[in-house]
Amino acid sequence: KQEVTQIPAALSVPEGENLVLNCSFTDSAIYNLQWFRQDPGKGLTSLLLIQSSQREQTSGRLNASLDKSSGRSTLYIAASQPGDSATYLCAARTSGSRLTFGEGTQLTVNP
């Protein structure tokens, strides 16, 4: 059974800092790894999706990497802003219809 873990559970940083969020998974036989953002009282918004054959994906100030052999993915946020404050979740797809989610990292960027 796939298990996904995110560390740390919460992170507080000053504005402008570069930061890394971590995601680990136990079953390396994944199709892809997705990163989501969740704002309070809202649903999840897909940020980046890394296919199993890829090493990284970039979107603006976000960069996600994937190392299947070690069961790890990281989300790098450059030059953080208060608007980046949210909970970030990763999810591993290990079959056609199932994603396994981590519990998320709650990020606070202080002005």
Partner 1 sequence: NAGVTQTPKFQVLKTGQSMTLQCAQDMNHEYMSWYRQDPGMGLRLIHYSVGAGITDQGEVPNGYNVSRSTTEDFPLRLLSAAPSQTSVYFCASSSPLTAGLNSPLHFGNGTRLTVT
Amino acid identity for residue 25 in this structure: F
Closest separation between CB of residue 17 and partner 1, Å? 26
Q: Does position 55 bind partner 1 by CB under 8 A?
A: no
Q: Choose, by CB under 8 A, the member of 10, 18, 20, 42 that binds partner 1.
A: 42
Select the span of 14-22, 38-46, 63-71, 78-86 touching partner 1 (CB under 8 A). 38-46
Question: How far apart are the C-alpha atoms of 86 and 63, rounded to whole Å?
Answer: 17
Coil, strand or helix: which one is 18? Answer: coil
Q: Does position 40 bind partner 1 by CB under 8 A?
A: no
- For residue 28 the two structure tokens come to 């390396």
CB 21 within 8 Å of CB 105: yes
- For residue 6 the two structure tokens come to 């995110």
Select the span of 10-18, 21-29, 62-70, 86-94 touching partner 1 (CB under 8 A). 86-94
Residue 48's nearest CA partner among 103, 5, 90 is 90
Binding site for partner 1 (CB under 8 A): 4, 31-32, 34, 36, 41-46, 49, 51, 89, 91, 93, 96-99, 101-104
